[in-house]
Structure formats: structure tokens, C-alpha cells
Structure 1
């Protein structure tokens, strides 16, 4: 909690953890931008744009929470995120939209959900944890939707 300019230890931990989580959101944003550039199907591009918009909205929500706790939110995915983004972009978009969809599912599942759950475990205040869970539930909806696109 914010109390006259002093962070509590708990909010320091939450700020640090939320910033790492936020870096993951930026990683997702950049991945979806890359996917959209490479998709052929116009309706798929729109669907991916909708998911990108949700990731961007979630990044703003997390940034706002960091501000509420008295912290300064990160503004990009950081060095590790850049490396993972680079690795994540190592697929051949010429193999078609289905390959891109599968890549997006893997990214949401592995980086978006599983790694985030491990990251935040026992490291957030109750309100921050609730926000992160809402974001992760949206990510699960994205995965379900993306899976429904594969024929």
C-alpha cells in the first residue's frame, strides 16, 4: 500500500512481479503484431487484432495497478522478452495461417499463462493477484478461441 511516500515490502514485491508480468504482456503484443503482418486471411487478421487490443488493454490495467502501488511500470518487454520474442518469431509464415495460429496458441499457453502463473505465485498482494487472474482468464479464452480456428 502507498503510505506517504513509503512502499511497504509487500507492495515492492508486487511492483517487481507486476512489472515482470507486464513485460510478458508487451511480449504478447509484439508477437501478435508480427502474426498479423504475416496472416493471409482478412477475418483472421481481424480476430488477431481483437486479441492484440485485449493484450494492450491488459497492459494498461497492469500499468495502472503498478502506479497505484507507487511504482513505475516498465515500457517494453525487456532483454529476456526480446530474446524470447526473437525465438518466437522463428517460424516460416509462408507455411500458412494454421502455422501462425498454432504458434499463437503455444505462445499464449506457455508464455502467457503457464509462465505467468509461476511468476506470480505467492508474490502479489490480493488485489494485484485478482487483476492478474482476470488477465490470465482472458488469455485462456484466447487459447480456446484460437484452437477453434484450426480445421
Structure 2
């Protein structure tokens, strides 16, 4: 999900013309990159190998997003799509937190959830 978020924000940044909106999108994207680093580091620390790509599902979501946005789109529509994506991220993090996790995994998922909620608030301020 974090890689999907980074790719989605690449599209949002590219399609945005307002510098304030672009900067907010860049901040949110940077937070997702930090989440990726934290997750990858933890996975390696416990002896795993992190997946470092979008995968087929992510590629399909990226194509679908670009089709929905179209060639020319206004800032409000882009912000709306960004909020929609972040909300999906919050829902996924909440599902993960309801699962059977060790304390460290729960802390990491909780931190990502907090970051995503903060990102939604930042994006709403753009409306």
C-alpha cells in the first residue's frame, strides 16, 4: 500500500498546477517514503525480505487512477482523490491493527495509521 501511495502522489504532483497543493502532496509522499523505510528496516531486522515494488494489483490501481483523473483535472478533484486514497490507507492500517500482531509490529502499524490520519487532515486543509 505504501508503494501505491508514493506512485499515486507522483501522479497527483504531476497533474497539479498549484504550488501550495504540490508542496502538500510532496510532504505526504515523503511521509509514505519514510513509512516504506521503516517497514523495510523492520522486515529485514526480523529476517525477512521486503517487497520493493507495486506488484500487479498496484499497477492496475495506478492505471485506474490515471484513467479517472484524465488529462486535465482541477485541483479540487485531485485533492479529493488524494483524500480518498489516504482514507483507504487508514482503513487498511486499522484492519492490520485488529489482527494478531507482536508489540513491535503493532507499534509500526499504529505509527503508519497516525501518519495517514495526519495526512488526511493536511489534505483537507487544501479544500
Could you tell me the TM-score, scaled by structure 2's length? Answer: 0.92
Which one of the candidate residues 40, 54, 73 is aligned to 1:95? 73
Which one of the candidate residues 21, 36, 56 is aligned to 1:44? 21
CA distance in 2, matches of 1:95, 1:46: 18
Structure 2: give runs of 5+ residues left out of the alignment: none
CA RMSD, 1 decimal = 1.4
| Number of aligned residues | 126
Regions of 4+ moved over 2 Å: none
CA distance in 2, matches of 1:88, 1:118: 23
- Indicate whether 1:67 and 2:36 are aligned: no
Distance 1:120 1:85, change over 3 A: farther
Query: What does residue 83 of structure 1 align with?
Result: 60
Distance 1:99 1:93, change over 3 A: farther
1:93–1:99 Cα contact (<8 Å) kept: no
Which one of the candidate residues 11, 15, 40 is aligned to 1:34? 11
Structure 1: give runs of 5+ residues left out of the alignment: 1-23
